[in-house]
Structure 1
Amino acid sequence: MVNVREASGPIDGRPVGSSILPASAYTDQKVFDTERQQIFESRWVWAGFTHWVAEPGSSRPVSVAGRPLLLVRDREGTLRVFHNICRHRGIVLSEQPSTRGRLRCPYHFWTFNLDGSLCGTPYWDRTKGSGPEPEVRDRLGLLPVPHSEWAGMVFVHLGEPTDSAEELLAPLAERWAPYDLTSLHLAEERRYDVDANWKLVVENFLDFYHLPFVHPQVGPAATLLDIEDQVLSEAVIGGYYPRGASAKASGQTAAGGGGGTALPLLGEIPDGLRDRQDIFCVFPNALVFIEPDFYQVIALEPVAPDRTVEHMAVFVAAEAADAAYDTARKNLSDVLFGVNDQDLPVLRALQQGRHSPAADRNHLVPHWDQITARFQHLTADALAQGATANAPMASNAPAKEDP
């Protein structure tokens, strides 16, 4: 069991002070394995983008908690998610995105329709054209995975969900009701290999304190005083920034104004929201950021204790796909990906720091780190709920308090 350290300075009755998770929670393989099981296999998590399988007949393999899954868009345009495993001998069915429709196993050429049904079994009874009886065929279809689509993202649950993804996302969907997230255009997408634990990526995303120091283009430190922490639900935490500093820095977005052709808004945005940034984590692995004229997702795929794959996508309104907005889209993307690039060496150094024995004497600051503390509590609580005596997590002795 990870030893959780208590300290002063509560938020919603939860302590803020000494780091709640020990340094070993960011470096230990046993902790990482338990997180996969107790967090990523036991709740709704981000698994991909809907544009990855935008066209009917397309499919794309993805991985969640190390489990191979397959996103599929059937001929009728319905999104489906299956375990990416052939029902014959258990080989991974597909390792590359495809638009060819039917799914064919590379081992014995069993073939599956896009609805998961089995449709081809060469020489089933050693005769050409033979196949199983209908009741056997029905039992050998691909195994489905509970899933849901929202705001260009695909969420899956590898267990047996007791609530829906819609319930999880409802607080954010209600807050973002003025934004049209049903008709989006992908401005740009990039994949990052990050040399850091996934939790450090989340914590950095939720850390507003570092913005003027690591990202000086957002403005002076005094602008941070406008940031407000927001806890929409147990699983949706973050904050908002009423000044929209990064939009002003880009000089191209509608919120920030500036030269060039301003991007169209994401729907009928009330005046009161036209100068606001929302920055939220949908626990555990979807980091979302919205302004009136763009929407950004940084989704995390934990690969190892010290390695995380980021899938970062920037979206604008559908009408911004027009060539008239080419420069504005490029400028916006350059700014947002530039911010992410600035964070990479910081994340690498944070990960390196977790190997120091001094890392267990870190101290969260109540005036700035309330949301970080809440995220750490969410993680610790999820691990504690799933831990058993037969599968103990790597422990860490409580650090001595700073004098």
Structure 2
Amino acid sequence: MTGPLAGREPGVSLLPADAYTDPAVFAAEQSAIFENRWVWAGYTHWVAEPGSSRPVTVAGRPLLITRDPAGQIHVFHNICRHRGMVLSEEPSTRKRLRCPYHYWTYDLDGGLCGTPYWDRRKGSAPDDATKDALGLIPVTHAEWAGMVLVALGEPVRPLDETLAPLRQRWAPVDLDRLHLAAEDRYEIAANWKLVVENFLDFYHLPFVHPQVGPAAAALDIDDVVLAEDILGGCYPRGAAGKASKTETPLPAFGDVPAALRDRQDIFCLFPNALLFLEADWFQVIAFEPVTPERTVEHMAIFVDRSAAGPEFSDARKALSTVLFEVNDQDVPILERLQRGRRSPAADRNHLLPSWDQITARFQTLVASAMEGHR
């Protein structure tokens, strides 16, 4: 494949089967896609308390999310400035981070604060200029909708520009009111692109997830493309989530207009944040591509902060149960899709113009980003 769509017949999948299995393609994607866009790196609640930190990986790079004693979130390259050892491998609530190799120590704002026997004398330390120069190396980051987003390189566009279509569409929804209702981690034996494609595949819903409604409900979904890298669909009158309603309905995220109370939006924020939004709940399935055939999902379900009390515990549990059930049902589907990519016949997969328009757009986006990298 020398161009993004070279050699593909009309209707045939725009990405060849080996794009889902080849380690060389995977490595190129990490560079071409995950280092050149704003990508999900973690959740703000992972460092909920001042003095906490959590290691994460983006594009194969070890990073560290911290919240300093003043409550500010930082993201750093997770390596000691002395010999480059990974500094932290587990979530921590220690007020300082200490490298296990030579005990160099850092504050959670990245400042270097300890260098034992700097010049071979007890109590010696670098001068202030050297100390300042050897702090942890920061990573460009931002916080939005409970997520920590990072940019390892020069992103295609500024984050404000990237998020503007979602912020405009969701303006009536107060995403500052998010309260974590439930969270889980999934190990998926499948390529990251299949995770996204399955998320954007509304055709499978009545067959794999009958609890979200019959085929007629899937026919009610409108394809929506807000921007090149924000694509998905919308139930104008709601669908998934209805099965989770209880006698005590969950409150909405602020003053949501009645006309929007039944709408469900389903968007991929390319490349690795999959978002569901209804007036009273918000779900993120964010993921880390680990190998060509392994992806780790981090699924979080949020409700309005006014629904945090015990009077809403049954409603929160009912919502979480149905949403986790839907994701559980997708896991074996994804793994069978991945195994199918080992067949040469997978190069002839046929996209349907009546169902797969959004999948085709996603594949085109990937192929275009990869042009010149393969």
Are 2:41 and 1:47 aligned?
A: yes
- Give the structure-1-normalised TM-score: 0.90
**Structural mapping, 1:379-398, within 5 Å:** 379-384=366-371, 386-387=372-373, 393=374
Measure the CA separation in 2 of the matches of 1:183 and 1:270.
Answer: 16
SS state of the match for residue 266, structure 1? coil
Q: CA deviation at 1:148?
A: 0.6
Q: What residue identity is the alignment partner of 1:358?
A: A
Aligned length: 372
Are 2:141 and 1:154 aligned?
A: no
Look up the match of 2:20: 26
SS state of the match for residue 246, structure 1? coil
- What stretches of structure 2 of length at least 5 have no aligned partner? none
Measure the CA separation in 2 of the matches of 1:350 and 1:161.
Answer: 31
Q: CA deviation at 1:161?
A: 3.7
Measure the CA separation in 2 of the matches of 1:163 and 1:343.
Answer: 32
Look up the match of 1:308: 295
1:102, 1:113 within 8 Å by CA — same for their partners in 2?
Answer: yes
Measure the CA separation in 1 of the matches of 2:360 and 2:317.
Answer: 36
Q: What residue identity is the alignment partner of 1:370?
A: Q
Look up the match of 1:246: 240
Measure the CA separation in 2 of the matches of 1:58 and 1:285.
Answer: 24
Are 2:78 and 1:84 aligned?
A: yes
Q: CA deviation at 1:177?
A: 1.0
Measure the CA separation in 2 of the matches of 1:162 and 1:378.
Answer: 13
**Structural mapping, 1:4-403, within 5 Å:** 4=5, 5-8=7-10, 17-161=11-155, 163-250=157-244, 252=245, 259-384=246-371, 386-387=372-373, 393=374
2:237, 2:263 within 8 Å by CA — same for their partners in 1?
Answer: yes
- Give the structure-2-normalised TM-score: 0.97
SS state of the match for residue 62, structure 1? strand
Measure the CA separation in 2 of the matches of 1:129 and 1:167.
Answer: 49
Look up the match of 1:398: none
Query: Cα deviations across residues 202-259 of structure 1 (Å, max 9, x unaligned)?
Result: 0000111110010111221122221111111111111101232212222x1xxxxxx4
Measure the CA separation in 2 of the matches of 1:42 and 1:343.
Answer: 29
2:188, 2:334 within 8 Å by CA — same for their partners in 1?
Answer: yes
CA gap 1:7/1:173 in 2 versus in 1, 3 angstroms: farther
SS state of the match for residue 132, structure 1? coil
Measure the CA separation in 2 of the matches of 1:333 and 1:181.
Answer: 19
Query: Cα deviations across residues 285-316 of structure 1 (Å, max 9, x unaligned)?
Result: 00000011100000010011111000000000
CA gap 1:364/1:161 in 2 versus in 1, 3 angstroms: closer
Q: What residue identity is the alignment partner of 1:45?
A: V
Query: Cα deviations across residues 318-344 of structure 1 (Å, max 9, x unaligned)?
Result: 011100000110010000000000111
SS state of the match for residue 361, structure 2? helix
Measure the CA separation in 2 of the matches of 1:343 and 1:163.
Answer: 32
Measure the CA separation in 2 of the matches of 1:179 and 1:335.
Answer: 23
Measure the CA separation in 2 of the matches of 1:370 and 1:351.
Answer: 21
Q: CA deviation at 1:122?
A: 0.5
2:178, 2:303 within 8 Å by CA — same for their partners in 1?
Answer: yes
Q: CA deviation at 1:7?
A: 4.9
SS state of the match for residue 157, structure 2? coil
